[in-house]
Amino acid sequence: MTALEPVMREADGAWVGWAGQPDLELETFDWDGIRIVPIALSVADLENYYEGFSNDTLWPLYHDVIAPPSYHRVWWDSYVSVNQRFANAIVKVSAQGATVWVQDYQLQLVPRMLRQARPDLTIGFFNHIPFPAYGIFSQLPWRSQIIEGLLGADVIGFQRVADAGNFSRAVRRLLGYSTKTPVIDVPARGEAPARSVIARAFPISIDVDAFETLARSPAVQARAEQIRHDLGNPKTIMLGVDRLDYTKGIGHRLKAFGELLEDGRLKVEDITMVQVASPSRERVETYRQLRDEIELTVGRINGDYGTISHQAVSYLHHGFPREEMAALYIAADVMLVTALRDGMNLVAKEYVAARFDDDGVLVLSEFTGASDELRTALLINPHDIDGLKDAIVRAVEMPRSERRKRMRTLRKRVRENDVTHWSETFLRTLAEARRSAGTGAGNSSMDALGELEWTVERSPNARPSG
Ligand code: GDG
C-alpha cells in the first residue's frame, strides 16, 4: 500500500478497501491526506470470498495448480457479491470522469461492474499474481465471467509479458475476440460501443531510494553486525524471506540445503541459513499443512546436522519490522528466492536495493517475475534440486569481483524501474488509452482503489508496506 501512497496523495484520491476486521462498519475517514473508504466484510464473506474463492480457488489456480484449487459455487456467489459491493462503493465516491485503479485478483469482476454503471470512468486493473496458461485457467467453472469482468477495464496490467500473453489467449479462446498485442478488440454489444482494451506487462517494483536509505542508516548497519555476531559469525549466512506460502518453494530450498550438509559440500560450522517465514492465511487448510511440513523439515535438519554451538537453520515464524528486514538483507551473504511460481517477488528487489556495498549473491528462481529483469542473479529451476545445490555452492564460493560485477548490474536494473516508474507508466498508459478511445474522460478528480490482499496480509505487526 505504501507503494501507492504517493500516487494517491498526488491524485487527491480515495482508497476503497476492506476495513481489516470482520463486521467492522466504519464511515469514510481521512488518513494522512488520503480519503479511506472502508468496505465491511462479514465472517461469512471472509470465509467464502477471501479464504475460499480468493485464496483457495484463484490463488492455487493462478500459481499453476501447485496446490489443488477448490471450486465451490457458494464461494463464487460470495465473490460476485463482494465484488459488487466494492463496485457500488467506488461508483458512489467517484466524480464524473474519474480514474479508478483496481488492484489484484480478488476484484476481477469490478472493472465490468464499474463500466456498466459508470461508462464515464477511466478504469485500470493490475494483477499482482501470475495469469496462468489457458490449459490451466480453463479449469475454472467461471472462466468466461472472469475474462469479461477484466475486459471492463481500459488497461489490464500484468507482471510479466507471458502473463499478458496468457490473458490474451484466454480472450481469443473463450470469446473469440481478435487481439494484436497489446490491444484486444472488444466488439459492440447491445448499447455498449466497440472498444479497445490494452493488456500488457508493467513489472512492479519497490521504493528503491527509501530501501537503500534504510539500509544505510547506522542503526540498521549496527543491527546487521549484531545479527552476524549472534549467529556466531559464520563464514556464510544464507537468507530466505517469504510469507509461509506453498508457492515460495521453501521446502525445495531446505531439501537442497539439507542434502548439501549431508554430502559434506557445506559444513554447519561455516554456514547458517536464516529462514523468515511470516505467518499467512492460517485458516486455510493447505497453509496449515504446509507449516507442519516445513517445521518438520527444519527440525530434522537441525536435529541431524546441528551442534551445540551451531544451528543449521534459524527458523523464524513471525513478522519483523522493516528495519529488521533491511538488517537481515545486509547481514546475508546469499539470498535464496526459490519460488515455484511468483508474480514478481519483491524480496529479491529489496535485497538488491539494500546492497549498496555491491556485495551479496542473489539466487533467483526462473519462475518469478523478477527473473525477467534480474538476469545477472544466479538463475535456478527450483525443481532441479541438483541444479539448486550447485547454485548454492557457487554462490557461497563466488569471488568478490564476480559478486560485485553481478550486484552492480542488478542494482542498475532495479534503479531503472522503481515503484514510481511502475505507477507512472501504468497511469500514463491508462490516460493515453482513454484519450485514444475518444470518449474524453476529462481530468481525473478521484482515484478509487479496491485492495483487499494487502490490507489483510500486511496489517498485523510490522508487515511491510508495498
Ligand atoms: C504478491 C505476489 C508480488 C515478508 N515478511 C516480512 C515482510 N515481508 C515483505 C517483504 C516484501 C513483501 O512482504 C512480500 O512481497 P513478495 O513480492 O515477495 O510476495 P507476496 O507477498 O506473495 O506478494 C508477488 C507482490 O504481490 C507485489 O505485486 O511481487 O509475486 O505474490 O516486501 O519484504 N516485511 C516485514 N516483515 C516481515 O516479516 N516488514
Cα(184) to ligand 1 centroid in Å equals 31
**Probe residue for ligand 1, chosen from 243, 419, 458 as the CB with the greatest number of ligand atoms within 8 Å:** 243
- pLDDT-derived band at 452, boundaries 50, 70, 90: very low
Following DSSP, what letter does each residue of 27-93 receive, concatenated?
A: --EEETTEEEEEE---HHHIIIIIIIIIIIIIHHHHTTTSSPPP--HHHHHHHHHHHHHHHHHHHHH
Q: Which residue carries 518469478 as its cell?
A: 368
> Rg for the chain (alpha carbons), in Å?
23
- pLDDT-derived band at 111, boundaries 50, 70, 90: very high
> What ligand 1 atom has the least distance to the C-alpha of 347?
18
Lowest mean pLDDT among 73-77, 232-236, 282-286, 344-348: 282-286
In this model, does residue 283 exceed pLDDT 50?
yes
Q: Around Cβ 446, how many Cβ atoms within 10 Å?
A: 19
Whether the ω angle into residue 182 lies within 30 degrees of 0, i.e. cis, is yes
> What ligand 1 atom has the least distance to the C-alpha of 348?
18
Could you tell me if 39 and 85 are in contact, meaning their C-beta atoms sit under 8 angstroms apart? yes
pLDDT of residue 31: 85
Could you tell me if 96 and 446 are in contact, meaning their C-beta atoms sit under 8 angstroms apart? no
In this model, does residue 20 exceed pLDDT 90?
no
pLDDT of residue 435: 85
> What is the pTM (predicted TM-score) of this model?
0.93
Summarize the confidence of residues 349-367 as an average pLDDT: 98
Q: Around Cβ 1, how many Cβ atoms within 10 Å?
A: 18
In this model, does residue 457 exceed pLDDT 80?
no
In this model, does residue 446 exceed pLDDT 80?
no
**Probe residue for ligand 1, chosen from 58, 347, 461 as the CB with the greatest number of ligand atoms within 8 Å:** 347
Summarize the confidence of residues 233-244 as an average pLDDT: 97
C-alpha dihedral (358, 360, 361, 363), degrees to nearest 10: -120
Grid cell for residue 404: 560485485
Q: Whose CA is nearest to atom 3 of ligand 1?
A: 344
Average pLDDT, the chain: 92
pLDDT of residue 215: 97
Q: Whose CA is nearest to atom 28 of ligand 1?
A: 128
pLDDT of residue 461: 29
Grid cell for residue 150: 477484466
Cα(239) to ligand 1 centroid in Å equals 15
Ligand 1 pocket member 255 (CB < 6 A)? no
Grid cell for residue 195: 472498444
Q: Which of 385, 393, 388, 399 lies closest to 266, judged by CA? A: 393
Enumerate the active-site residues: 128, 342
**Probe residue for ligand 1, chosen from 64, 206, 241 as the CB with the greatest number of ligand atoms within 8 Å:** 241
pLDDT of residue 6: 66
pLDDT of residue 440: 41
Summarize the confidence of residues 259-271 as an average pLDDT: 98
In this model, does residue 3 exceed pLDDT 80?
no
pLDDT of residue 458: 28
Spatial distance between the Cα atoms of 262 and 162, rounded to a whole number of angstroms: 38
Domains and CATH numbers, the chain: 2-205+418-456 (3.40.50.2000), 208-416 (3.40.50.2000)
pLDDT of residue 335: 98
Spatial distance between the Cα atoms of 288 and 114, rounded to a whole number of angstroms: 37
In this model, does residue 98 exceed pLDDT 60?
yes
Lowest mean pLDDT among 228-232, 382-386, 417-421, 451-455: 451-455
Spatial distance between the Cα atoms of 328 and 335, rounded to a whole number of angstroms: 10
DSSP annotation of 196: E
Cα(178) to ligand 1 centroid in Å equals 36
Q: How far is CA 236 from the centre of its chain?
A: 28
Of residues 391 and 441, the one with the higher pLDDT is 391
In this model, does residue 445 exceed pLDDT 70?
no
| Phi, then psi, of 57 in degrees rounded to 5 | -115, -65
Ligand 1 pocket member 335 (CB < 6 A)? no
H/E stretch holding 448: strand 447-451
In this model, does residue 263 exceed pLDDT 90?
yes
Summarize the confidence of residues 324-334 as an average pLDDT: 98
In this model, does residue 447 exceed pLDDT 50?
no
In this model, does residue 200 exceed pLDDT 60?
yes
